[in-house]
């Protein structure tokens, strides 16, 4: 994240999270065909008590492309361990929701300075003159 301020991580209550496990297609070892290491984390945004009404509305608007019936699903299968995949999925979901509930910064309208406007117009005049000189026309 580009800002210098530390991002506050949102904590979602355990009782609101649903987990599903399946076989991962990633790297494996001896137990590759028997271990359910792929993790799907489901969280109902509509029914959550972790967010205020304003945060929920903002999250619904910002995450609308990820929502299916008001539920967000995050999948992790990058690790061999189910535990590490569970942690990765939870962190990813909490960061996703934390980014979605941040209020946008208010943009303050600004005006270019007089000096910058004059510099821009002078540069345009010089460029125009350069092109006019190249054409070979005599006026």
Q: What would the pLDDT profile of 29-67 be if each residue is shown by its tens digit? A: 666 666 667 888 888 887 777 888 888 888 888 888 888
* Of 46, 49, 69, 68, residue with least CA distance to 59: 46
**DSSP assigned state of 117:** H
> What domains sit in the chain, N to C, each tagged with a CATH number?
14-101 (3.30.160.20)
Give the orientation angle of helix 82-101 with respect to helix 53-62, to 10 degrees. Answer: 100
Please tell me whether residue 60 adopts helix, strand or coil conformation: helix
Partners of residue 74 on adjacent β-strands: 41
User: Which pLDDT value is given to residue 26?
Assistant: 58
> Residue 107: CB partners within 8 Å, gap ≥ 6?
none
């Amino acid at each position: 994240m580009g800002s210098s301020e530390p991002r506050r991580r949102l904590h979602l209550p355990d009782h609101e999270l649903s987990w599903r496990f399946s076989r991962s297609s990633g790297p494996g070892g001896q137990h590759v065909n028997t271990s359910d290491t792929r993790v799907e984390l489901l969280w109902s945004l509509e029914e959550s008590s972790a967010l205020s009404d304003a945060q929920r509305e903002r999250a619904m608007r910002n995450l609308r492309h990820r929502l299916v019936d008001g539920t967000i699903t995050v999948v992790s299968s990058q690790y061999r361990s189910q535990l590490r995949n569970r942690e990765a999925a939870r962190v990813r979901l909490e960061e996703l929701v934390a980014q979605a509930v941040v209020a946008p910064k208010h943009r303050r309208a600004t005006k270019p300075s007089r000096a910058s406007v004059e510099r821009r117009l002078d540069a345009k005049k010089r460029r125009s003159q350069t092109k006019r000189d190249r054409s070979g026309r005599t006026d």
